[in-house]
Chain A
Amino acid sequence: MDATDATANQRLPLIAVANRLLQRLRGVNRLGFALIFLAPSLVIFSAFVFYPLMKAVYLGFYETDNFGNQGDFVAVDQYRTVLSSEAFRHSLWVTFLFALYTVPPGILLGLALALLANQKLPGISIFRIMFSSTVATSVAVASLMWLTLLNPSVGLLNYFLVEAGQPRIDWLNDLDWALPAVSATTVWLNLGLAFIVILAGLQTIPEELYESARVEGASDWSVFWHVTLPLLSPTLFFVSVVGTILAFQSFGQIHILTRGGPLDATTVIVYSIWQDAFQRFDYGVASVQAVALFLLVLGLTVIQLRFVERRVFYQ
């Protein structure tokens, strides 16, 4: 150690000690050093994600008795029975339909609104705020609004039907209409997010590309089809995956509007999990479904991440 180091260390002994300690930590165990920084998030994730997840997998291996207590160990039997049951297949089908009714219309509407709001017009920001406002609307508020709109006797929708000379529809209690009605609410609810993401995607497309396409002879439709849409496709894919995950996790609007009815017509997986866990107190069956849902969403996320890598190629 040379003289300057020595005097610096004398003046600041604490820092010198800390430095030496840090060096030793780095030398001995880089992982340990990293863990110090990871600890806060590790604790939180462990408590609220990893532990419950493991617990769900674990609970799936046990039956649940009539009082909600953990029963006999049945290994994978419970997984087999639940996943092959008619009820699970039904809720999977309803979930699929729900995603189908919410994701494509949500993207199309979001795209249409984003295209409108991407114009350079005076006061356009007012429309941008309006179109994105559903992001700041809670599920409960949205559901109550739509409960009123869908009300068979005083709802606005039936008012228009009657005006048009059509019979009233009891939207939320009709076997054919309940799922579309809940889906409409969900589309509205998720529209703000889709709008914001698609608008952001549109704004990353350089103006010059549109201009050069126009000079090259492209009509408005061709510009949209050959320039806007391909350059927006990574964004649209992102919105579709996130939208699907959101659809798979929807609960609040179904709980408030239909409670899974009529006749389980709106019982998506999440609602079925909730019913099994907190109505019937059959935690085993609920856990099996939760694990299945987790794997489904995980698969979607992996696909999304793969695609994000491809997206970098464009830039």
Chain B
Amino acid sequence: MSRVVFDHVTKRFGDVVAVDDLSLEVHDKEFLVVLGPSGCGKSTALRLVAGLEEPAEGNIIIGDRIVNNVEAKNRNVAMVFQNYALFPHMSVYDNMAFGLRMRRIPRRERDQKVLDAARMLGLQDLLRRRPGELSGGQRQRVALGRAIVRNPSVFLMDEPLSNLDAKLRVQTRRELVKLHRQLETTVIFVTHDQVEAMTMGARIAIIHEGALQQVGDPQEVYRHPVNLFVASFIGSPAMNFFHCELRLHDGQPIAYSGGARFPLTEGQARSLAALRGQQVIIGVRPEHILPDWEAEEGSEGGLNVVVDTVESMGHEQHVTFSAGDTTIVARLDAARSLRDGERLRLMIDQAHVHFFDPDSGQRVE
């Protein structure tokens, strides 16, 4: 039983609130990704679990035990640091065996565990080397190996992939997910990279300015972002936002933004009825913007835009349009090539539009 619970945890550094009343439960054997921009407090949250920081308020619970006053060495957690934090004066073997030696595991058992982990990670030929003689990817695996051998109840990973090159990062991402499946242990994985979060996490917890914004599986946070921050942080290219006013047009509720009109679906009109005459922010993902030649016959509304830049991805293209002083990014099929400066009309897939309250930033359903 190795769930981890943050129960109204607050951590301050002087006047800076690093973690602000965080409540979050990481389930047993779950791979949870904590995602947020740099300086949002996600690493601090991880260090609170490791025992490297003490909470000012609230409780940290590992399993069924409140560990606020338990020293790091007695928490049975393992941590993989961003720079791996390998001991430069020790061989790979000694690095991996360090935790076992500290726990006075007998030599034969120690050797066996280190060898097993080394085999699992493909490190068996490197055991006598020192970290300085290894590549970045190898060091990263040694850091993982050091965590694995102790069979900890919780793995804590603090941006462990950020020092790897792009190709190795993608490869290691998959290996980590497989490793988690093999080990069946709770993993808390901190990252600022939303692609990592989306691809690895069974659930993603998004943190901003020390506060938890949303927890959910990747699809959930992508499809139903609870507020403007999550909506803008998740997804690449980022969501487009339009400041709109809700009005009636021929008895039909319509959102206006500058010259553009966004007709609402019946369901949306119903849920937004109370907000008539008020401001609302409409969020549209780049893949829900269509050029008019792809839109259905007779669809209403639309934005007249000019092509600004075209980034070709091969299978698709990311096109930046300008409409007045707003820019709009769309993911379009690569079949029809667009020229800079070309004028066209964009339609919006109305069913996939998100609404947010401009004052609170919260989602309006």
Contacts and interface: CB of A to CB of B under 8 A. Distances in A.
A314 B88 contact: yes
Contacts of A209: 85, 87
A76 B52 CA distance: 67
Given A208-B85, A231-B89, A315-B88, A214 B51 contact: yes
Contact of A315 (B73, B132, B146): B132
B16 interface: no
Given A222-B102, A230-B87, A230-B89, 6 more contacts: A209-B85, A216-B150, A217-B103, A218-B73, A219-B73, A314-B88
Nearest to A229: B89
A216 B88 contact: no
Nearest to B94: A226
A218 B78 contact: no
Nearest to A212: B85
A243 B340 CA distance: 72
Interface string B82-96: 010101110000000
B48 to A, nearest CB: 13
18 contacts: A206-B85, A209-B87, A211-B52, A212-B85, A214-B51, A215-B51, A215-B52, A216-B102, A216-B150, A217-B103, A218-B73, A219-B73, A219-B102, A231-B89, A313-B132, A314-B89, A314-B132, A315-B132
Contacts of B50: 211, 215
B320 to A, nearest CB: 40
Contact of A215 (B79, B87, B130): B79
B272 interface: no
Nearest to B50: A215
Contacts of A218: 73, 98, 102
B83 A206 contact: yes
Given A214-B73, A215-B50, A231-B88, A208 B83 contact: yes
A219 B72 CA distance: 10
B49 to A, nearest CB: 10
B99 interface: yes
Determine which residue in B73, B74, B78 has the highest number of CB atoms from chain A within 10 A of its CB, and name it. B73
B72 A215 contact: yes
B161 to A, nearest CB: 17
Contacts of B146: 216
Interface string B78-120: 1101010101110000000011001100000000000000000
A215 B98 contact: no
Interface in A181-197: none
CB-CB nearest 3 A-B residue pairs: A216-B99, A217-B102, A212-B85
Contacts of B130: 313
Contact of A212 (B81, B89, B132): B81
Interface string A195-229: 00000000000101101111111110010001100
Interface of B: 50-52, 71-75, 77-79, 81, 83, 85, 87-89, 98-99, 102-103, 130, 132, 146, 150, 156
Nearest to B158: A208
A222 B100 CA distance: 13
Contacts of A314: 88-89, 132
Contacts of B79: 211-212, 215
A103 B266 CA distance: 87
Contact of B81 (A211, A226, A313): A211
Given A206-B85, A209-B85, A209-B87, A216 B132 contact: no
A215 B78 contact: yes
Contacts of A212: 79, 81, 85
A226 B98 contact: yes
Given A212-B79, A216-B99, A218-B102, A227 B132 contact: no
Decide if the interface of chain A is mainly helix, strand, loop or mixed.
Answer: helix
Nearest to A216: B99
B22 to A, nearest CB: 20
A211 B78 CA distance: 11
B15 to A, nearest CB: 15
Nearest to A218: B102
Contacts of B99: 216-217
B89 A214 contact: no
Contacts of B150: 216-217
A215 B76 CA distance: 8
B11 to A, nearest CB: 16
Nearest to A230: B89
A212 B156 CA distance: 11
A61 B280 CA distance: 101
B70 to A, nearest CB: 12
A34 to B, nearest CB: 35
A155 to B, nearest CB: 45
A215 B73 contact: yes
A206 B84 CA distance: 11
A233 to B, nearest CB: 8
A208 B132 contact: no
A211 B85 contact: yes
A215 B102 contact: no
Determine which residue in A214, A230, A315 has the highest number of CB atoms from chain B within 10 A of its CB, and name it. A214
Interface string A277-314: 00000000000000000000000000000000000011
A217 B85 CA distance: 15
Contacts of A219: 73, 102
A244 B87 CA distance: 30
B85 A214 contact: no
A222 B104 CA distance: 12
B87 to A, nearest CB: 6
Contact of B52 (A206, A214, A230): A214
Contacts of B75: 215
A46 to B, nearest CB: 42
Contacts of A315: 88, 132
Interface string A105-149: 000000000000000000000000000000000000000000000
